[in-house]
Amino acid sequence: MPATPGFTEFENKMRRAGMGDAPIRAFRHSFETLAAGKTGLLPENSIQPVTSLPRSEEIPKNIASGALLSQAVIIKLNGGLGTGMGLEKAKSLLPIKDGLTFLDFIARQILYLREQHKSPLRFLLMNSFSTSKDTLDFLKKYPALGETANLEFMQSAVPKVDAKTLQPVTWPKNPELEWCPPGHGDLYPSLLGSGWLDRLLAEGVKYMFVSNSDNLGAFLDLDLLGYFAASEKPFLMEVCERAPADNKGGHIAQGNGRLLLRETAQTPKEDEKFFQDINRHRFFNTNNLWMRLDRIKALLDASGGFIPLPVIQNSKTVDPRDKTSPKVVQLETAMGAAIECFPDSGAIIVPRSRFAPVKTTADLLALRSDAYQITEDWRMVLAPECNGVPPIVSLDADHYKLMDQFDDKTKDGVPSLSRCRELKVSGPVAFSAKNVFVGKVAVTNKDVATKPLPAGEYKDRVAEV
């Protein structure tokens, strides 16, 4: 590779850490963007809203035969530790329902599809160095998935950039803090650099479905697979219609005649009102993506071994807990941003049930409740009483943010939420399986000590304990 001015130290540092050509090429593109003074911002006057899209309920049904599964691979992004919830292992090892973890559900979904359709459906995890060992050890309980060594490829790490010098930051107190994750856009160089992209293509795999491991709504839907295959599109993003609570997530738009993805960090401050206008920008990215592997490979080859994704620049301090530590820029890319790299990309509106990530303990409370049910094929679906709309749960962060806090307050079971539209909890309240919430409910405890909520039904009311 020809040298890039100012990049030599980054390349040397990445090679010393064992990084190969693919992640280095991708990071060089990100660094060049920063060094050239490009902000990566997408002003409102440079884009247009997306006004209409096809809906998944309108596509032909049962057009995907099991034969298509033999040409498909499911990839789950599994690099997160869930530190925001106080976890120290892969978030996908967190028990979700009936003692089963995210990985239990994912493994059982894969095995069910293979058995039902007698198909060698491929399955891979994109792990991080923090999640790999625990994840592969856990999956040994499912030997039918295959050798654990053939179930993963590793996401890379990239150097943090010193904001003053634009060189790799050094932090001898804790050298690990000199590195950061490169965002989900790392999927492409990691897939290429690991050799898995060429291997899958050689085995006749054509279609890739990618989603986050903490989103159990993102199962491989045969109707969507058939629709994607018939469309001949290189890239298809699943989107949902934005609700008031979705005003901060990345939305899709149009620019230069193509679909594109705009994240919060790419929005100028003066345009935040437009970004948050859910009636103007109506659709958000679920991070459930369908891709043609042959088209991804062709784009990588044409671009010199990397995909020129828009770069997200995050201003931080090298030690996030020490605001006096040197200021750095963390360069990230979004996996879904590749939608703009193809002129014929598409998007499709899917039900909200296909977007059920667990980012907080509030999300977990909903999934553990009777608002969600387990199907025969190991999917997690909304109970019929929910009428397709999950309950909106808000838990007091001072008392429920961390898993040990949450577990302590739900040790007697989780309340019924199947007929609940909205639940807001303020103060330390202990729940039980004998609590039933209906409609819009608020529960408040103004004391410092935790108090149990008495058994019974609470309907459209404010309850103080």
Percentage of the residues of the chain whose pLDDT score is greater than 90: 86
| pLDDT of res. 65 | 66
Q: Is the pLDDT of residue 5 over 70?
A: no
Q: Is-contact 367 215, C-beta < 8 A?
A: no
CATH topology of domain 8-354: Spore Coat Polysaccharide Biosynthesis Protein SpsA; Chain A (3.90.550)
Q: Catalytic: 359?
A: yes
Task: Tell me the C-alpha to C-alpha distance, in Å, between residue 385 and each of 125, 181, 244.
Answer: 34, 40, 22
Q: How far apart are CA 441 and CA 298, in angstroms?
A: 53
Per the residue annotation, which of 206, 297, 316, 359 is the catalytic one?
A: 359
Q: By C-alpha distance, which of 157, 167, 175 is closest to 31?
A: 167
Task: Tell me the C-alpha to C-alpha distance, in Å, between residue 197 and each of 41, 192, 428.
Answer: 31, 5, 49
- In the structure encoding, which two tokens stand for residue 12, read together? 């040397």
- In the structure encoding, which two tokens stand for residue 328, read together? 């750095």
Q: Model confidence over 130-151: pLDDT tens digits?
A: 899 999 999 999 999 999 989 9
**Which of the 8 DSSP states describes residue 234?**
S
| pLDDT of res. 455 | 98
Helix axes 132-139, 102-117, angle to 10 degrees: 50
Element counts in the chain: helices (H) and strands (E) = 13, 25
Q: Is the pLDDT of residue 93 over 90?
A: yes
Overall average pLDDT of the 341-351 stretch: 96
Across 351-355, 366-370, 398-402, 420-424, least confident range: 351-355
| pLDDT of res. 84 | 83
Sign of CA dihedral 385, 390, 392, 396: positive
| pLDDT of res. 36 | 93
pTM of the complete model = 0.93
Q: By C-alpha distance, which of 60, 52, 53, 58 is closest to 225?
A: 60
| pLDDT of res. 81 | 84
Q: Classify strands 158-159 and 179-180 as parallel, antiparallel or unpaired.
A: antiparallel
Contacts of 326 (CB under 8 A, 6+ apart): 162, 163, 164, 169, 171, 317, 318
Residue spans of the domains in the chain: they are 8-354, 361-464
Three-state DSSP class for 377? coil
Vertex 289 angle, CA 204 and 372, to 5°: 115
Q: Is-contact 234 296, C-beta < 8 A?
A: yes
Q: Model confidence over 361-388: pLDDT tens digits?
A: 999 999 999 999 999 999 988 999 999 8
Q: Is the pLDDT of residue 223 over 90?
A: yes
Which of the listed CATH numbers 2.160.10.10, 3.40.50.970, 3.40.718.10, 3.40.50.2300 matches domain 361-464? 2.160.10.10
For the chain, first and last CA: distance in Å? 66
Q: Is-contact 287 336, C-beta < 8 A?
A: yes
